[in-house]
Chains A and B, each alone.
Chain A
Amino acid sequence: MSLWNEALAWLLDPVTYTGEGSIPQRFAQHIAITLGVLAVAAVIALPIGVLIGHRRSGGGVVVVLAGAARAIPTLGLLTLLGLGIGIGLGAPVVALVILAIPPLLTGAYSGIGSTDPATIDAARAIGLSEWQIVRSVELPLAAPIIVGGLRSATLQVVATATLAAYTADAGLGRFIFAGLKTRDYGELIGGSVLVIALALVLDACFALALRVLNRRSHAPSSTARSEERSI
């Protein structure tokens, strides 16, 4: 229990809230890294996922690739990239983007691909173009699953963004590495608690967003939930 007290003392110590390397500064860096990585990953993964889902072909390859990409150990990838790119934020950002792409991609193509074919045929029959079908029919119906993919990617990135501190002076991971190496377990646990809190808050936001989306897309909530889990 004394470890928790140390962590609490560290979290409540006013010194850790001011100056260079303060908690608010590390927190802001951590959120910036997370959002930046998600934005880049979404720009890459979502169009590909939507295209594959809409064409309803090539999905098998994506499943295999996305599954394989998930097995890449991020720390190993980070070291490899660091040897190419050098130290700084570049290597961790690329490694995190590669971490975030599989859930986003899978969410997009499985969401779009699971739209009822009869609905799409009906849309085509009333004269909608392919782009209009994607935009007005498939995307709204798939929104809960796509956001589910984004939720999963966000959780992985926000937790793994601690590795940014492996090669850069940034993020909440600095507290964890520094605490681990100096056996300052209060700082180590305090830093971890901050990451967990951030992850929980973000996840709660997604839970809320999903509830709204589910209501809007009129999907039966039970199907939506089971698909969300399969992502």
Chain B
Amino acid sequence: MKITRIAPLAAGVAVAVALAGCSSAGSLEGGSDSTSDTIVIGSQDYYSSEIIAEIYAQALENADYAVERDFRIGQREVYVSEIEDGSIDLFPEYTGPLLSYWEPDTAARKSDAVYDALVAAAPERLNVLDQSSATDQNSYVVTREFSEKYSVTSIGDLATVPVPITLGGNSEGETRPDGPIGLKSEYGVTVAFTPIEDGGGPLTQKALRDDSIQLAIIYTADPAFGSGDLVPLADPEGLFLASNVVPIASDKLDAAAVKIVNAISAALTPEGLVALNAQSVDDQSPAATIATEWLEANPVD
């Protein structure tokens, strides 16, 4: 009895495994088929990264470059070696995390210092193009109401707030140097801590709006900022590592292509990146549609 029941299941699993094998083999072949002057563009396995990569792709296609999309590759450990060995020619990266990957001991924290260090740290045959003003990094956030009531626009302003402040965030934040410890040592701000394990997601944002917590750590490019009732606080001491959007390119991009990509970086603002992400998360629009609309609104060639 048992065997007859298991047999079709086993067959199903075998088919599924075979199909999975086919599809991955297919995409790998696609990678090696490309002709020598095709620009291969990669992206992280992160919707925001994919949108930016798609913008690069469409802008280059509009300028008659041959482009191949190799999106959603995964985490930095996986794709950086592919960029370094030349399998990928163009990749939207983030300055701070990439610098930390190449130089784990770097002391650079703020945007320009991180960018300069990144240019110096990049391997010989890779070019770090212009960084964008758009960032995707941790930030301390309060509600607009709180910000206006106590005139808080920068982290240091929290020191003058007369009410007790509770920071809500992932439990690791409690002991990290950019958590309550850093707030105290860099800004003289004392906060209580409560764990909310969703990484600045909806639960954290609700707690902030409910005033269960007064301070949260949320990514600067989070679509939540589109609604305007959350205010990221300035971080003049560089508690959080700067993480500007920056294209990493191989020599396969000629001067004209580099100019196009740099024009995209110049046109992409922090608010613009939030809006792109909101289109993906809130409206569930595909990356290609979002990119086309953005390029229509921000012509770069």
Give the interface of A toward B (CB within 8 A): 79, 82-83, 86-88, 165-169, 174, 177-178, 181-182
Rounded to whole angstroms, the CA-CA distance of A165 and B203 in the bound complex is 13
* Closest chain A residue, CB of each to CB of B211: A86
> Among the listed B171, B196, B212, which residue makes an inter-chain contact with A178, where contact means beta carbons less than 8 Å apart?
B171
7 extra A-B contacts, CB within 8 A, seeds A82-B206, A87-B210, A178-B175: A82-B203, A83-B202, A166-B195, A167-B197, A169-B194, A169-B195, A177-B195
> Quick one: closest B residue to A165, CB to CB?
B195
B195:A174 contact, CB within 8 angstroms: yes
Q: Give the complex CA separation of A182 and B193 in angstroms.
A: 16
A169 — which chain B residues lie within 8 A by C-beta? 193-195
Q: Which among B193, B194, B195, B198 has the greatest number of chain A C-beta atoms within 10 A?
A: B195
A165-B171 contact, Cβ under 8 Å, with A86-B210, A87-B213:
yes
Evaluate contact between A174 and B171: CB separation under 8 angstroms. Answer: yes
**Which 5 pairs, one residue from A and one from B, show the smallest C-beta to C-beta distance?**
A181-B172, A178-B171, A87-B207, A177-B171, A166-B197
With known contacts A86-B212, A87-B207, A182-B172, A177–B197 Cβ distance under 8 A? yes
Q: In whole angstroms, what is the CA distance A177 to B199 when docked? A: 12
From A78, which residue of chain B is reached at the shortest CB distance? B203
Interface range for B: 20 to 34
In Å, the complex CA distance between A168 and B212 comes to: 11
- Can you name 12 A-B residue pairings with CB atoms under 8 Å? A87-B168, A87-B196, A165-B171, A165-B197, A166-B195, A166-B197, A168-B195, A169-B194, A178-B195, A181-B171, A181-B172, A182-B176
Return chain A residues, CB-CB under 8 Å to B176.
182
Name B173-216 residues within 8 Å CB distance of A: 174-176, 193-198, 202-203, 206-207, 210, 212-213
Interface residues of B (CB under 8 A from A): 168, 170-172, 174-176, 193-198, 202-203, 206-207, 210, 212-213
Interface on chain A toward B: helix, strand, loop, or mixed SS? helix
Determine the residue in chain B with the shortest Cβ distance to A169: B194
CA distance A177 to B173 in the complex (A): 11
Residues of B close to A79: CB separation below 8 A: 198, 202-203
CA gap between A122 and B57 in the complex, in Å: 83
For B204, the closest partner residue in chain A by CB is A87
Select A86's contact among B172, B174, B198, B207, beta carbons within 8 Å.
B207
Shortest distance from the beta carbon of B204 to any chain A beta carbon, whole Å: 8
- A178-B174 contact given A86-B206, A86-B207, CB 8 Å threshold: yes
CA distance A86 to B202 in the complex (A): 10
> Chain B contacts of A166 at CB under 8 A?
195-198
Complex interface: chain A residues within 8 A of B171 (CB): 165, 174, 177-178, 181
The complex places the Cα of A174 from the Cα of B202 at a distance, in Å, of 20
Closest Cβ–Cβ distance, residue A231 to chain B (whole Å)? 24
- Hey, which chain A residues are within 8 Å of B174, CB to CB? 178
Q: Are B206 and A83 in contact (CB under 8 A)?
A: yes
Expressed in whole angstroms, the Cα–Cα distance for A167 and B212 within the complex equals 11
Partner of A87, one of B175, B193, B203: B203
Q: Which residues of B contact A87 (CB under 8 A)?
A: 168, 194, 196, 203, 206-207, 210, 212-213
Given the known interface contacts A82-B206, A83-B202, A165-B171, the answer about A88 and B195 at a Cβ–Cβ threshold of 8 Å is no
CB of A1, distance to nearest CB on chain B (Å):
26
Q: What residues of chain A lie closer than 8 Å to B168, measured between beta carbons?
A: 87
Closest to B203 in A: A82
